[in-house]
Structure 1
Amino acid sequence: MPTRTPSALWAHQFRRSPESKATLQHQIRQMLVAAILDGQLPPDSALPSSRELADQLGVARNTVVLAYQMLVEEGYLLSRERSGHFVNPEMLQGLHGLTARQPEPGPGAPAGEIHVRPEWQKRIVRPPSAQRNIVKPTNWQNYAFPFIYGQFDQSLFPINDWRECCMKALSIMEIRNWAPDLIERDDESLIQQIRTRVLPRRGVFAMPEEIVITNGCQQALYLVADLLCGKRTTVGFENPGYPDARNIFENRNAHLLELPVDGEGIDPQRLSGSLARCDYVYVTPSHQCPTTATMPIGRRRALLELAQRNDFVIIEDDYESENTFSGTPHPALKSLDTADRVIYVGSLSKTFAPGLRLGYVVGPQELIRELRALRRLMVRHPVAYIQRAFATFLALGHHDALLRRLAHAYKERAQALMAALDTHLPEARYVPVAGGASCWVEGPPWLDSARLADDAREAGILIEPGGVFFADEAERSPWFRMGFSAIKLEKIEPGVRALAQVVRQQQPS
């Protein structure tokens, strides 16, 4: 006979949170599913009537009725006429019988035999966790002054526009386009939007077979490095430069040749001897990472001429191409390329929502074909539903409108940040911000930016110490990066003022 669960259990289990954005119906369903899957409800046990449970939880009866109906449709509950709702035994079949057991010794194994575990530290040839990375607290949104880069401000997110595009992608006619396994293909409408709406703004023109979609710039760089780099490969790399890209190339056993950066990026003429030794040169010419310097046209042409003369290929990471205060992006290095000397890596989601992870690579057809084949071994293709929704977002003009709003908001924040630094940290120097979403700051010579970041975090301030961007972390401790994409305008001045107090505390007597 089915057992009846005490109603008091539900009053205890249900934690009605005023901060939760989920509906009461969703919260009740979540509570019941958790109780079933966690084994608190045995198979075939009876649930309270909808009226009884509603009284216990202090909600409308219809809310409980709808929750029960959804769980019946999903197979968690069975509805029996005139008897009520019961936990479906088939849903739990084999679930609660799975308990952790020690493996029994095989036939002939001696009693008490010790099972030796593998020594994983010896087996992992190059542990990724040992790499130097930019560290950002997962709870950064709880800090009063989050001067971190690469996160977004929820108040600037186009919720209604994105919801509209997601709903369109869920229509019956659209589902058949993205629900099947695309294998090596990408969403054709997204490729079309990139080549006709995104790339021309950067002066780049490409055919569909010259573009491949990736899970952000990060995967794009990994695919390129995995395909092209080995123990005999030399990669010219900006110093300071993007730590994750450095880690990716080193992980593929490439030899990195550090290329010093000045106020205009790398200087091809001064570095011509070093560049001649490279197979590939990785650069961020539009907004150099992390200094934000923009490489002038003269240097870009010189770099392309050296690539042609010395037979090396340029990997252009245009991660922040759309973040310009003027509204007109800088022409890409790729736009000057007439000999397939540039592999172009771009991002679609950095200005929108970094969590979407949408990037792309533009290159010659034979390279893109191999990148697609390699990507198939990793993830087959990025989520097709997101591709289709973002294609619609581009086609309806929502992306262009968003870029205009971001340019205005980021310009205001950049001006406020520079003014606050002038007022409260006059002893610091910074690269003037003309685009992007970060400011590269050099503190006094005695400043330890790693220690500053730790002390600032205790005061509710998040900054990024600059040492991780350099090949030799010990060299440049006074440098740090301040992002402004995730911090409200009115928080910038008090945040810099508070940071200045932390800096003063470190000043030698």
Structure 2
Amino acid sequence: MAKIRIAADVFFLDRTSKRPLQTQIREAVIASILSTQALPGSIMPSSRKLAEHLGVARMTVTLAYQDLVDQGYLETKSRSGYLVADTDAIPRLKIGDFKEPITNSDVWKDLLSENLAERRRIIKPKDWRTLPYPFVFGEMDSTIFKHSAWRECARQAMGKRDFDLMASNEATDDPVLVNYILSRMLPRRGITAIPSQLLITVGAQHAIWLAIELLTRTPLKAVCENPGYPDTLQALRWCGADVTTVDVDQHGLPPDDIPVGTKAVFVTPSHHAPTGTTMSRSRRAQLLEQAQARDFVIVEDDYEFEMSFIEPPSPALKANDKDQRVLYAGSFSKALFPGLRLGYLVGPEPVIAEARELRSMMLRHPPGHLQRTAAYFLAQGHYDLLIRDMRRKFAQRRKAMIEALGKTNLEIAGAAQFGGSSLWIRAPSGINTENLARELINDGVVIEPGAPFFNGDNAPTEFFRLGYSSIPVERIEDGIRLIAERIQKR
């Protein structure tokens, strides 16, 4: 019986992807095998023909084929080249063996209390990296990140000793990572703590969520900043808290405006989200004094203190917490990369013990190997070098931002006094920055409208945030010029 020959033109590559061509070839062949497009015993296109069709080097195809032989997807036969392996060990699913999903939305509609998809949130275009002027906040600059160092740390974390330790179901918080945070990170913020007062989380947002879940087991009257981080406000309301927002000014949240009966205050004192304002030392002291006198607790989100290239950041609110009333949330996501999702929560030992139990019911613990990779990256000095380079680059970009904005009618309405990675901007009165953001996409410019940060239906529309962590310094002036030109046309 004649062997079936598979045509080269059934395979293709995604040229817009940054993923290795060899990886894409392997995945395309595997997909054809698992879907039964390529049946057992079928002859694959020769490496030469497939390379010509795909427009790649022949060696790239040969290496991909050899990997598939090693994995058991392909086999070699003399004079026949590469064949699809004839084995029952590979599960196959026929194309078209899918049934239409049954929808029964009415049942779930009656059970769900809210439509979370309609909540206010910060949305950035998925293709923002392909655009020339991405004033995106909170994203990594891949030209600065120490990729080779991270790969080496990941390799070390996958060594047998670490693999056996961190792959265990009993693994919790990586002691190497915990030690670094206690000995290096927290002292920089003026905080001292012991291991039982610290919990590793899946980012700072997870840490804040755990705090909210614990605090709302009984009726809670809480305060958030306005404008402020929208997810904190939404999470409090979702968990049933009675939330009041307090307007911030150039010195941060005014403690005198906190309503009577408040039991928890959520603040970003070192670098207010989104304006960048730093709460004054006098207000910090006043807030701590009121917390003790009026018997409320404070949840401090200290999300970007490492970006201090103008002056040292003020000590954390937690650093002066003599009465153990502050829960402190920190994160590595802004300095490393947001997809890392590693943060930590610091607080009184009984609170952290409860948070640990609550975390274990949700996800048991953050991935052990990711913790160990990050721990090696930190402990071996790569993190400190990365922060040094980021501060230098961000200082240049901030200077370019301020100079470019000075040539427009845009106003810098807020900025972190110690540095940071963004500026809070006010457009002329009457400008709706949500509409402006949609129009700017056509110019290749990404900005962050300010509306999601405000509480209420009558929020101001003229504010927006410009991040400079991901945009090359040489593109800043042109990007801001395009923003100003769009505004002038309105």
TM over 0.5: yes
Contact (CA 8 Å) 2:447, 2:466: kept in 1 or not? yes
Superposed CA offset, 1:91-138 (max 9, x none): 4446339923589xxxxxxxxxx9976443333212210111011111
Superposed CA offset, 1:384-423 (max 9, x none): 1111011111111111111111111111111211121111
Matched, 1:39 2:36: yes
Tell me the matched-pair count: 488
Quote the Cα distance in structure 1 between the aligned partners of 2:24 and 2:412: 51
- CA change 1:53–1:98 in 2 (3 A) is closer
Distance apart, 1:225 and its partner CA = 1.1
- Partner SS, residue 441 of structure 1: strand
Superposed CA offset, 1:184-225 (max 9, x none): x21110001110111110011111111111111111111111
Matched, 1:215 2:202: yes
In structure 2, what residue type is equivalent to 1:266?
Answer: L
Quote the Cα distance in structure 1 between the aligned partners of 2:185 and 2:168: 26
Quote the Cα distance in structure 2 between the aligned partners of 1:231 and 1:122: 26
Contact (CA 8 Å) 1:327, 1:403: kept in 2 or not? no
Quote the Cα distance in structure 2 between the aligned partners of 1:235 and 1:59: 60
Matched, 1:123 2:111: yes
Q: Structure 1 residues 92-101 or 168-177, which shifts more? A: 92-101
Distance apart, 1:23 and its partner CA = 4.7
Superposed CA offset, 1:67-95 (max 9, x none): 34432332323556887633343144463
Contact (CA 8 Å) 2:227, 2:247: kept in 1 or not? yes
In structure 1, what residue type is equivalent to 2:452?
Answer: V
TM-score (norm 1): 0.88
Q: How does 1:378-393 map to 2 (within 5 A)?
A: 378-393=362-377
Contact (CA 8 Å) 2:275, 2:415: kept in 1 or not? no
Q: Structure 1 residues 441-450 or 246-255, which shifts more? A: 441-450
Q: Give unpaired runs (5+ residues) of structure 2.
A: none
Give the match for residue 430 of structure 1.
413
In structure 2, what residue type is equivalent to 1:223?
Answer: L
Give the match for residue 389 of structure 2.
405
Match of 2:169 among 161, 165, 181: 181
- CA change 1:219–1:51 in 2 (3 A) is same
Give the match for residue 379 of structure 2.
395
- CA change 1:11–1:98 in 2 (3 A) is closer
- CA change 1:53–1:471 in 2 (3 A) is closer
Give the match for residue 433 of structure 2.
449
Give the RMSD, CA atoms, in angstroms.
2.7
Contact (CA 8 Å) 2:415, 2:422: kept in 1 or not? no
Quote the Cα distance in structure 2 between the aligned partners of 1:321 and 1:97: 52
Distance apart, 1:477 and its partner CA = 1.2
Q: How does 1:157-176 map to 2 (within 5 A)?
A: 157-176=145-164
- CA change 1:314–1:117 in 2 (3 A) is closer
Give the match for residue 108 of structure 1.
none
- CA change 1:393–1:378 in 2 (3 A) is same
Match of 2:225 among 217, 231, 238: 238
Contact (CA 8 Å) 1:36, 1:87: kept in 2 or not? no
Contact (CA 8 Å) 2:3, 2:41: kept in 1 or not? yes
Distance apart, 1:430 and its partner CA = 2.4
In structure 2, what residue type is equivalent to 1:430?
Answer: A
Contact (CA 8 Å) 1:467, 1:474: kept in 2 or not? no
Quote the Cα distance in structure 1 between the aligned partners of 2:331 and 2:3: 56
Distance apart, 1:142 and its partner CA = 1.9
Superposed CA offset, 1:129-157 (max 9, x none): 01110111111112221112111221111
Distance apart, 1:242 and its partner CA = 0.4
Quote the Cα distance in structure 1 between the aligned partners of 2:207 and 2:297: 16
Q: Structure 1 residues 196-205 or 441-450, which shifts more? A: 441-450
Quote the Cα distance in structure 2 between the aligned partners of 1:475 and 1:432: 20
- CA change 1:499–1:186 in 2 (3 A) is same
Superposed CA offset, 1:451-479 (max 9, x none): 22222222222111112111124331121
Give the match for residue 199 of structure 1.
186
- CA change 1:264–1:10 in 2 (3 A) is same
- Partner SS, residue 477 of structure 1: coil
Q: How does 1:24-103 map to 2 (within 5 A)?
A: 24=22, 26-47=23-44, 64=61, 66-78=63-75, 85-93=83-91, 95-96=93-94, 99-100=97-98
Distance apart, 1:231 and its partner CA = 6.8
Contact (CA 8 Å) 1:13, 1:31: kept in 2 or not? yes
Contact (CA 8 Å) 2:308, 2:420: kept in 1 or not? yes
- Partner SS, residue 304 of structure 2: coil
Question: Among the aligned pairs, what percent are the same residue?
Answer: 38
- CA change 1:227–1:68 in 2 (3 A) is same
Quote the Cα distance in structure 1 between the aligned partners of 2:95 and 2:476: 56
Give the match for residue 442 of structure 2.
458
Matched, 1:342 2:339: no
TM-score (norm 2): 0.92
In structure 2, what residue type is equivalent to 1:271?
Answer: D
Quote the Cα distance in structure 2 between the aligned partners of 1:152 and 1:463: 16
Give the match for residue 143 of structure 2.
155
- CA change 1:2–1:462 in 2 (3 A) is same
Matched, 1:293 2:290: no
Quote the Cα distance in structure 2 between the aligned partners of 1:19 and 1:134: 25
In structure 1, what residue type is equivalent to 2:396?
Answer: E
In structure 2, what residue type is equivalent to 1:150?
Answer: G
Give the match for residue 271 of structure 1.
257
Match of 1:331 among 312, 315, 322: 315
Give the match for residue 420 of structure 1.
404
- CA change 1:385–1:93 in 2 (3 A) is closer
Quote the Cα distance in structure 2 between the aligned partners of 1:88 and 1:375: 46
In structure 1, what residue type is equivalent to 2:380?
Answer: L
Q: Give unpaired runs (5+ residues) of structure 1.
A: 104-113
- CA change 1:82–1:177 in 2 (3 A) is farther
Distance apart, 1:364 and its partner CA = 1.3
Q: Structure 1 residues 306-315 or 229-238, which shifts more? A: 229-238
Of structures 1 and 2, the larger Rg is shown by: 1
- CA change 1:446–1:90 in 2 (3 A) is same
Contact (CA 8 Å) 2:8, 2:49: kept in 1 or not? no
Distance apart, 1:502 and its partner CA = 0.9
